[in-house]
Structure 1
Amino acid sequence: MAGKLLDRLRRTLFKEGEVASDAEGTDDFPESSELEDDTDCVSARLGGTLCFEGDGALESEDAGDASGPDSDSDFLGESIDNGCSSADTSPVSPSPKASTLLTRQLQENWRSSRTRSFQDKVVFEVTDASVIQEATSKYVLYTIQVIEQGMYDKTPAVITRRYTDFERLHARLRRQYGEEVEGVCFPRKKLRKNFVAETIAKRSRAFEQYLSHLHSLSAIRHSSPFLEFFYLGDLRAGQMLLRVGRYQDALGSLLNSLKLQEKLGCPHQQHQNQPQRVHWLFNLSALVSCFQELEQLGEAQEHCDRALQHIAPSLDAVPQQQHFHPLLIPLLQSNVRLSWKISKDKRRWEALLQEIQESGVDVGNQPNLKEYVVKETLETSDREARSKVRGDDDTT
């Protein structure tokens, strides 16, 4: 009898030990099991590569499926909200049976590798994709954030583009830079299911990788098609609105254009005649004009001062300098007036303006800043840009 009781007690203790051990194992590895599940989820939703092969090519995205489950935007919202970008996809999927130490090491290594790979780099992230149904067409509108250095950015620049915009960019780059983009794959259209969540999610990731690859190529990064795709549209829209006196509306386009230029590194171009730098200085000048017209004098002076910091020569260099930036005198005159109105020290800019006048330049016979901004024609071709960089006025 005692032997039976002892044997029963041993079996009970053994079973309780197994349960406790299983419970401990579950508590030890919650991160690894979640990581594995999340990786599977990402693989299913964003498993596409840069080259997204479709069943065939169509001339218009609008010819895709327009009804039925393939065009259900509810599925799109669920997929985009739950899916991760290519930057968030972990290359490691540890087993739940792995040790906690190994899991933490893998995660730390992955985080550090992400940090290293994103340093000194611009990241393009598709944060939203919406199916737009119009009277005669249907398309997907992608919202793309341009973020500095792959880390948390409080002020990311944003653009919205559809597939045809990407397609137009790729076609222009192939015509003008055939060799450079020969190895760059582009997500193709499909005969069917262009509006299902899986296709849109894969295509979103492909567009992120596509833009990152283009930005890594120096010739492409400075090309007119690339700049046109990102900020030239906003810059021209702002100029047109300024011309017709719609200053408040112009501000939105100009501020977004300026933010995009800064993310793409336009202010840091060394040659002052490089297109990106020319566009950036023009954008600042247009903002000065808009803020002046709206009586926001502090903002106007701030942008004016910022532009002058990049183009103003020192007082000692004025006598030896034969040519000045065409925006220098209009910006100096604007800054002196604005600084006086807001009671800010203007002596530096007054002295520089006086020195330029004494060097023989007729500062009184110059267009004011608004006249310059309204009349200036923004470059539209790479050939014009290259001519300006060389200093050649003949662009014909």
Structure 2
Amino acid sequence: MASKLLDRLRRTLFKEGEVVASEPIDVPEDSFPESSELDDTECLSERLGGTLCFDGESAMESEDPGEASGPDSDSDFLGESVEDGFSSTDTSPVDLSPGVSSLLTCQLQESWRSLSCTVPEKLVFEVTDASVVPESSSKYVLYTIHVIQSGMFDKTPAVITRRYTDFERLHSRLRRRHGDHMERVCFPRKRLRKNFVAETIAKRSRAFEQYLTHMHSLAELRRSPTFLEFFYLGDLQAGQMLMRVGRYQEALGPLLNGLRLQEKLGCEQQGKQQPHHQQGTHWLFTLLALVTCFQELEQLGEAQEHCDRALRDVAPSPEALQQHLFHPLLIPLLQTNVRLSWKISKDKRRWEVLLQEIQDSGADVGNQPSLKEYLMKENLVESEGNTKAKVKRDDTT
């Protein structure tokens, strides 16, 4: 019986976005629309061919503008699959003995763990709100988009708010930098009329969800600084501005959201691999900004946690340490972490030893800039048009 249930579970689990079942499933045609339309652009979304466009006619007939875009995570679908499996006539879930039930539960859990490793994690972009915002003599629509990690229950979804012109600017920059990948991607033109009616806003919401999903599905674009900074850079700039005027409590909101966005977009791994790259600099800035804000707010445990996390990213190898090849902020980071660890009675020996090794090597550990000074002076600008300036600043560090 257990083997039959496991076999049915395997066949009902989805893989790479497709549902495989032993029997045909009757699903309404409008439950999973294959494409979304926007304005009067007449194209077709060809996911397998690597193209995203919008069909202005067919979607109008088959799609409800107010309909949600689908399940937020794979866990919801798994629950439905297991439920369907137990309702099948192939199994009899009643009158199971405790031993058989326990064994079955263990086997199901083990099966899910092994299968989940083969399902690649991806991001879900869901427009949860769209509101018309007046601006002097004009107005615009502001879209609220949740960025959710699929394949797991995401307790901390990140949020961005963007308007049409933000997406238009992103598309233009991606076309300049990645023309080959953007060649067949159509972006909707602006409309002269009906930009603020519910139907247009709903269609655009669905279209922007598909647009971001498509961009993220392409490895070259997914790693592009232009695409990544579209999500998180505004939060970092807002947090820095609030820190400069001493509003540390208010700065925590955008900084924490920026951290979650970078985590979901994979900037942490890029930062570890290339600490002096733009994304590595932004990642470290975020952690240090949170250290400073939590310190100022006397939340020392949270400050030490983020400081420790930053140190794990920039800690040098023994070979690099011998050659004095380490991050310019390593010494002030070590000093801050040792001090915080002492205040909260946390083990600090590892970092004390590293700091002593650096001092023994002849480095000046007494004349170091504070983390706050670095954060206030750092120029957070977009990568486009700033490459030369960034390289020059790194060389003089």
Q: Quick one: structure 1 residues 355 and 170, their matched pair in 2 at CA, closer, same or farther if it must change by over 3 Å?
A: same
Q: Does 1:285 align with 2:269?
A: no
Question: Residue in 2 aligned with 1:27?
Answer: none
Equivalent residues of 2:239, 2:254 under 8 A apart: yes
- Number of aligned residue pairs: give it: 313
Q: Which residue matches 1:52? A: 38
Deviations along 1:343-374, whole A, 9 cap, x unmatched? 11111111110100111110111101111111
Structure whose residues are more often helix by fraction: 1
Name the structure 1 match of 2:214: 213
Task: Tell me: CA distance 1:355–1:392, structure 2 relative to 1, closer, same or farther (3 Å).
Answer: closer
Q: Which residue of 1 aligns with 2:69?
A: 85
CA distance in 2, matches of 1:164, 1:150: 32
Task: Tell me what 2:58 maps to.
Answer: none
Q: Partner of 2:129: helix, strand, or coil?
A: strand
Partner secondary structure for residue 125 of structure 2: strand
Report percent identity of matched pairs: 66
1:373 aligned residue (372, 375, 385): 375
- Of 261-270 and 380-389, more deviation after overlay is shown by 380-389
- The structure with the largest alpha-carbon Rg is 1
1:359 maps onto 2:361 in alignment: yes
1:223–1:382 Cα contact (<8 Å) kept: no
* Distance in 2 (alpha carbons) for counterparts of 1:280 and 1:366: 21
Corresponding residue for 2:149?
A: 148
Aligned pair in 2 of structure 1 residues 267, 385: CA closer, same or farther (>3 Å)?
farther
- 2:124 aligned partner: 123
Corresponding position: 1:302 with 2:288: no
Other-structure match for 1:159:
160
Q: CA deviation at 1:311?
A: 1.2
Could you say if the C-alpha distance between residues 190 and 87 of structure 1 is closer, same or farther in structure 2, counting changes exceeding 3 Å? Answer: farther
Higher normalized contact order (CA 8 Å, seq sep 6+, divided by chain length): 1
Cα gap change, 1:389/1:86 in structure 2, threshold over 3 Å: closer, same or farther? farther
> Could you tell me which amino acid in structure 1 is paired with residue 215 of structure 2?
L
Q: Secondary structure at the match of 1:128?
A: strand
Letter of the 2:38 counterpart: F
SS of the equivalent of 1:124 reads strand
Q: Which residue of 2 aligns with 1:13?
A: none
Q: SS of the counterpart of 1:236?
A: helix
What amino acid maps onto 2:233 in structure 1? L
Deviations 1:304-347, CA, capped at 9 Å, x for gaps: 00111111135x44652322112211110100110111111111
Aligned to 2:316: 313
1:138 Cα deviation after fit: 2.5
User: What are the superposed Cα offsets for residues 237-272 of structure 1, whole Å, 9 maximum, x if unpaired?
Assistant: 111211221111111111111111111011112222
The 1:392/1:310 distance shift into structure 2, 3 A limit, reads closer
Matched to 1:309, the amino acid is R
Deviations 1:81-126 (A, max 9, x none): xx121668xxxxxxxxxxx99x989xxxxxxxxx899723222111
Hey, what's the Cα distance between the residues in 1 that align with 2:170 and 2:392? 26
Partner Cα separation in structure 1 for residue 358 and residue 266 of structure 2:
30
Residues 123, 146 of structure 1: 8 Å contact kept: yes
For residues 194 and 347 of structure 2, the distance between their equivalents in structure 1, rounded to whole angstroms, comes to 63
Paired residues of 2:146 and 2:159 also in contact (CA < 8 A): yes
- Deviation string 1:205-231 (CA, Å, 9 cap, x unpaired) is 211111122223333333343233211
- Asked if structure 1 preserves the Cα contact closer than 8 Å seen for 2:301 and 2:344, the reply is yes
Superposed, 1:184-223 pairs within 5 Å as 184-223=185-224
Structure-2 separation of matches of 1:117 and 1:386: 41
Give unmatched runs, 5+ long, in structure 1. 1-30, 57-77, 89-99, 106-114
Question: How do 1:228-243 residues align onto structure 2 when only pairs under 5 Å count?
Answer: 228-243=229-244
Indicate if the aligned counterparts of 2:240 and 2:375 stay in contact, CA closer than 8 A. yes
> 3-state DSSP class of the match of 1:362?
coil
TM-score, normalised via structure 2 length = 0.70
Over residues 178-236 of structure 1, what are the superposed CA-to-partner deviations in whole Å (9 max), with x where a residue is unaligned? 23212112133333322233322221121111112222333333334323321111101
Write the letter of the residue equivalent to 2:334. Answer: L
What's 1:15 paired with?
A: none
Aligned residues: CA RMSD? 3.4
Contact kept in structure 2, 1:318 and 1:359, CA below 8 Å: no
Kept in 2, the 8 Å contact 1:304–1:331? The answer is yes
Could you give the per-residue CA deviations for residues 132-154 of structure 1, whole angstroms, max 9, x where no partner exists? 34552232211111111354311
8 Å CA contact 2:38–2:200 kept in 1: the answer is: no
Q: Conserved in 1, the CA contact under 8 Å of 2:288 and 2:375?
A: yes
TM-score by length of 1: 0.70
Distance 2:392 2:246 in 1: 35
Contact 1:124 1:146 in 2 (8 A): yes
Report whether the alignment pairs 1:274 with 2:258: no
Are the counterparts in 1 of residues 278 and 383 from structure 2 also a CA contact under 8 Å? Answer: no
